[in-house]
Amino acid sequence: EGAMWTAGARQPGLVLAALAALGLALEVLVARRRRPVREVLFFPSKPSCTEALLAEAASPDDAPVPCPCPLPRGDCAFSRLLRHLLSARRSLELCLFAFSSPQLGRAVRLLHRRGVRVRVVTDAQYMALKGSQIGLLRHAGIQVRHDQESGYMHHKFAIVDRKMLITGSLNWTTEAIQNNRENILIMEDAEYVQPFLEEFERIWEFYDPLKYMFF
């Protein structure tokens, strides 16, 4: 029997305290490492200049060129959304009822050029509307699929690198971003992300153009 356990026998409180401290330290370490993104954003978001964000994402090594536009810079709901989106390194799934924001369109094309695997599901009735970004995405070579049902494909979610979910009431239109009362959640809790990933794959397969029936 070691000295420690003999000491423990004499002072059981010490052993308990040491064990508790060890447990706490481990818990703090694990919590710090795994702390998921958990953010709630509300809109409308004031018009703001996002050139710096987009330019930095496009060529991180270049010196920033200041944008001459008069819009305010700085943090706002929209810039935070854009920043999270631009953090994608491997994959991006988009499931969007309406997508006409030119800034978000640029961001998605930029990610595609950077080698991120982008897949888009959208609503057939809305994708042909004026200002839709869907045509530009397809021109850029991004895969897009759409519903062929009578109901709307009304989701508004994105999944970044299969681990961050962006979802809420916000359609990706400038109108909604700047004028509507909207919310989005940005979350990395697997319990929420996983079902959305599975739903995306289901919808993606269901909308495979080879299966379109043109009824």
Q: Which residues bind a copy of itself (CB under 8 A)?
A: 1, 5-6, 8-10, 12, 15-16, 19, 23, 38, 40, 42, 44, 97, 147, 149-157, 167-170, 175-176, 178-183, 185, 187, 189, 191-192, 195-196, 199, 203
Peptide bond into 44 cis (omega under 30): yes
Place of tokens 């818990």: 27
- CB-wise, 47 or 168, nearer to a copy of itself? 168
Tokens encoding 179: 């004028």
Q: CB 124: neighbour CB atoms within 10 A?
A: 14
Q: Which among 84, 112, 161, 189 is annotated as catalytic?
A: 161
Distance between CA atoms of residues 119 and 159, nearest Å:
10
Contact partners, residue 93, CB within 8 Å, separation at least 6: 119, 121, 158, 159, 197, 200, 204
Dihedrals φ, ψ of 107, to 5°? -60, -45
Q: Which among 61, 112, 156, 208 is annotated as catalytic?
A: 156
Compute CA distances 197 → 75, 133, 193, whole Å: 29, 23, 6
Active site residue 146: no
In angstroms, give the least distance from the CB of 201 to a copy of itself: 12
Contact partners, residue 139, CB within 8 Å, separation at least 6: none
Q: Which of 180, 197, 199 is nearest to 189 (CA)?
A: 197
- CB-wise, 82 or 153, nearer to a copy of itself? 153
Distance between CA atoms of residues 206 and 215, nearest Å:
15
In angstroms, give the least distance from the CB of 58 to a copy of itself: 31
- CB-wise, 51 or 147, nearer to a copy of itself? 147
Active site residue 211: no
- CB-wise, 152 or 212, nearer to a copy of itself? 152
In angstroms, give the least distance from the CB of 56 to a copy of itself: 28
Distance between CA atoms of residues 51 and 200, nearest Å:
30
In angstroms, give the least distance from the CB of 10 to a copy of itself: 7
- CB-wise, 96 or 116, nearer to a copy of itself? 96
In angstroms, give the least distance from the CB of 20 to a copy of itself: 9
Catalytic residues: 154, 156, 161
